[in-house]
Amino acid sequence: MHPSNLFRRRLLLAGAAGLAAGALSGVAHARGAAVQPDIDGTKVWGARSPQGTVSVLQYRPSRIVVHHTVSANSTDYSRARAHAHAHWVQDLHMDDNGWVDTGYNFLVSRGGWITEGRTGSLPALTGGRAFVLGAHTSGQNTQAIGIACEGQYHAGAQPPQAQWEVLVTLCAYACDQYGIASTQIFGHKDYGTTECPGVYHDMLPELRAEVAAARS
């Protein structure tokens, strides 16, 4: 990537995700050219402890599956809202579904804040050699990490630009860390009868293209 483009992208991110300029100065270029985004780990957003053992798979995932959480399309784009949304999802998955922890590996808020989902997903991603077994896509959880976008996009709503930008950045970083081809990004409905992730599914070709560009 041309330095001016990288700078522009960082500026975009700083605006989109509300990141302080200082937080971007030490950006690591792990294995490829993708920018490492800020991700709030479970301790940062105050997640509950898992109710049982979380399994860490000692190999790299081969694809990414995109979801939406079907939460309300909030117009609160704050980091606090991203944390509240992470709690809402965790409570739903642990208390209603009876799962050990949040089903997704990562969540992207409508304001462009990233939170770690299932505990351990963040250190596994930064390590780049293992990933946490989630509960997000039947038949795919041992091969794919799940990234869920806050909101519901199956009834005509369009995702906020900040969420889109940060989804691109997170996917690019995950692809670089795990050596996943940019073409290997899918939507939940590719693997089952669901409307998830709504219009994001129609946007997958553009997502793959922008991820590829972010890595080059």
Residue with tokens 């409905």: 189
Q: Which residues sit at the interface with Zn ion, rule CB under 5 A?
A: 67, 188, 196
Q: Is the dihedral of CA 116, 130, 96, 166 positive or negative?
A: positive
Stretch (H or E) spanning 148: strand 144-149
Distance CA 120, CA 87 (A): 16
Alpha carbon 123 to its chain centroid, in Å, reads: 14
- Least separation, in Å, of the C-beta of 103 and Zn ion? 9
Distance CA 74, CA 131 (A): 30
Closer to Zn ion by Cβ: residue 9 or 93: 93
Beta bridge partners of 107: 115, 148
Amino acid residing at 97: N
- Least separation, in Å, of the C-beta of 109 and Zn ion? 16
- Least separation, in Å, of the C-beta of 196 and Zn ion? 3
- Least separation, in Å, of the C-beta of 36 and Zn ion? 25
- Least separation, in Å, of the C-beta of 151 and Zn ion? 12
Closer to Zn ion by Cβ: residue 112 or 146: 146
Q: Is the dihedral of CA 175, 106, 108, 127 positive or negative?
A: negative
Closer to Zn ion by Cβ: residue 9 or 99: 99
Closer to Zn ion by Cβ: residue 67 or 85: 67
Closer to Zn ion by Cβ: residue 119 or 137: 137
